[in-house]
Amino acid sequence: MPIATVEDLAPGAEVEVRTHYQASWARGFEVASVEGDRVRVRRRSDGSLLPTAVDRSDVRRRAATNESPWMRELRDIASTRVA
């Protein structure tokens, strides 16, 4: 589920970023700042900022360590369906 709350977007929050190459979620990022509907993210491995801010819908909270990536993806798909 994409991030929706202000608490989830607090600087330093661990997040995953949607890749446009494979439409998958990449781990290892944190929120650097929020600029309207865009989020600046930083790689946790080396502290580098990504060159451009990403859309808020392309950022989500980091998955729990005991949650399967497949289950997370299925839950995300189900949450976007219109009832």
Residue 27 lies in a domain: yes
* Summary mean pLDDT of the chain: 82
pLDDT in tens, 6-38: 667 889 999 999 988 888 889 999 999 998 889
3: pLDDT confidence band, cut at 50, 70 and 90?
low
Inside any domain, residue 59: yes
Q: Any idea how long the chain is?
A: 83
Residue 63 covered by a domain: yes
Residue 34: inside a domain: yes
Q: Is residue 56 part of a domain?
A: yes
CA dihedral 42→43→49→55, nearest 10 degrees, is -60
Residue 66 included in any domain: yes
Structure confidence at residue 21 (pLDDT)? 84
Q: Residue 37 is part of which domain span?
A: 7-80
Indicate the number of domains in the chain. 1
Q: Answer whether residue 1 is part of any domain.
A: no
Q: Is 77 helix (H, G, I), strand (E, B) or coil?
A: helix
CATH of the domain at 30: 2.30.30.10
